[in-house]
């Protein structure tokens, strides 16, 4: 992987001046992931309707310095897979030089990936298109008003998972999308955060180098929806990892590798929850049982990953 100085010299694929909120993890995810594109290749980007799309393409302006396609909420994977198939067909027909290198990448939030776009994503992965799908996971439908999605964590507040006498936030566990995509038998799946740039860029490089479909699931905090300061995005991302809430792992051709948290970095789950307004009710004495449920879920998922792993590496 190129060092940070070399990466900083590369042309920006996403220009500054877009209208995403201060501290938004989505733009960070885009910039870091596209740093993984080989320098001799052109990235072609498709983007589902969502925060990233509406804030970077406000007519008559756009912030993209690469070919860009806006898709409906549900079909980013379908559109990009179609473009990839057309490109390969034109190469076979001799209408595009065989040595022209293009990397096809689709971006979608968790609403457009875990939920509305899951069908087209699954189809693209199953058909084996040579593309990278990136989910910037901010844990809710942020663009339309912070409604819960299947990526919203258990116990989290959302406008459709309210906190009151009858309910204390979302009652269900979040969907394990990375495992679902890995079950498709694709060459590469990686999970990372915007707060671990070296890990994310490295995984992006592997995803773009894969011979076939690849998937990246990136924790991308939303200050507005998570009720955190715009300067806390990186801190919260790192706490998510250090508390085991968001494990870093990858699946390369069926081989699972979990990045363990060093003992000195391990922190209690409360350290991740406390700074976020969406979880403040969990720290009340009357919700001690629900908090313990969340802790148990985190430990159970960690054990599940350990059971899938054949090797590991230090963070």
Q: Which residues of the chain have pLDDT under 70?
A: 1-2, 310-315
Note the pLDDT tens digit of each residue in 34-56: 999 999 999 999 999 999 999 99
Q: Which pLDDT does position 6 carry in this prediction?
A: 86
Assess contact for 123 and 133: CB atoms under 8 A.
no
Question: What is Dmax (Cα atoms) for the chain?
Answer: 69
Q: Which pLDDT does position 311 carry in this prediction?
A: 56
Residue 175 exposure: Cα atoms within 13 Å on the Cβ side: 18
What are the helix (H) ranges across 158-268? 177-182, 197-209, 223-226, 233-242
CA–CA dist 196, 138 (Å, integer):
16
Assess contact for 136 and 163: CB atoms under 8 A.
no
Tokens encoding 139 = 């844990």
Q: Which pLDDT does position 3 carry in this prediction?
A: 82
pTM for the full predicted model: 0.96
Q: Which pLDDT does position 140 carry in this prediction?
A: 98
What are the helix (H) ranges across 35-145? 51-56, 76-92, 110, 118-127
Q: Which pLDDT does position 13 carry in this prediction?
A: 95
Q: Which DSSP category does 68 fall into?
A: E
Q: Which DSSP category does 72 fall into?
A: -
- List, in order, residues 6 or more apart from 101 with CB less than 8 Å away: 38, 40, 41, 42
Tokens encoding 147 = 């409604």
Torsion over CA: 217, 219, 221, 226 (sign): positive
Assess contact for 230 and 21: CB atoms under 8 A.
yes
Q: Residue 227: count other Cβ atoms within 10 Å of its Cβ.
A: 15
Query: Residue 189 burial by CB count (10 A; 0-12/13-18/19+): exposed, middle or buried?
Result: buried
Q: Which DSSP category does 286 fall into?
A: G
CA–CA dist 12, 7 (Å, integer):
10
* Cα dist from 223 to 7, 24, 138, whole Å: 26, 7, 9
Instruction: Compute and round to an integer the Cα radius of gyration of the chain.
Output: 19
Tokens encoding 210 = 């894969």
Note the pLDDT tens digit of each residue in 205-264: 999 999 999 999 999 999 999 999 999 999 999 999 999 999 999 999 999 999 999 999
Assess contact for 13 and 30: CB atoms under 8 A.
yes
């Amino acid at each position: 992987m190129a060092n940070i100085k070399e990466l900083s010299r590369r042309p920006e694929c996403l220009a500054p001046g877009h209208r995403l909120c201060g501290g938004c993890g989505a733009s960070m995810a885009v910039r870091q992931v596209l740093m993984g594109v080989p320098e001799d290749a052109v990235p072609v980007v498709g983007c589902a309707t969502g925060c990233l799309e509406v804030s970077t393409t406000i007519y008559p302006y756009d912030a993209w310095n690469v070919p860009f396609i806006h898709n409906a909420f549900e079909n980013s994977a379908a559109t990009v897979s179609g473009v990839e198939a057309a490109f390969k067909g034109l190469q076979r027909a001799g209408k595009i030089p065989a040595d022209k290198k293009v990397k096809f990448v689709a971006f979608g939030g968790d609403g457009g990936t875990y939920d509305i776009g899951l069908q087209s994503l699954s189809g693209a992965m199953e058909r084996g298109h040579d593309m990278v799908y990136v989910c910037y996971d901010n844990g809710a439908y942020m663009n339309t008003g912070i409604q819960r999605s299947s990526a919203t964590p258990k116990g989290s507040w959302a406008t459709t998972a309210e906190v009151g006498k009858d309910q204390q936030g979302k009652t269900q566990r979040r969907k394990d999308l990375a495992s679902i995509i890995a079950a498709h038998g694709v060459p590469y799946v990686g999970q990372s955060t915007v707060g671990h740039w070296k890990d994310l860029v490295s995984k992006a490089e592997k995803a773009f180098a894969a011979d076939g479909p690849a998937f990246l699931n990136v924790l991308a905090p939303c200050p507005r929806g998570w009720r955190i300061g715009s300067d806390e995005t990186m801190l919260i991302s790192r706490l998510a990892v250090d508390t085991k809430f968001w494990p870093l792992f990858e699946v390369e051709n069926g081989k699972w590798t979990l990045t363990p948290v060093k003992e000195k970095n391990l922190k209690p789950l409360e350290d991740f929850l406390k700074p976020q307004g969406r979880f403040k009710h969990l720290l009340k004495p009357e919700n001690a049982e629900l908090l313990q449920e969340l802790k148990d879920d985190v430990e159970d998922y960690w054990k599940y990953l350990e059971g899938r792993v054949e090797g590991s590496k230090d963070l």
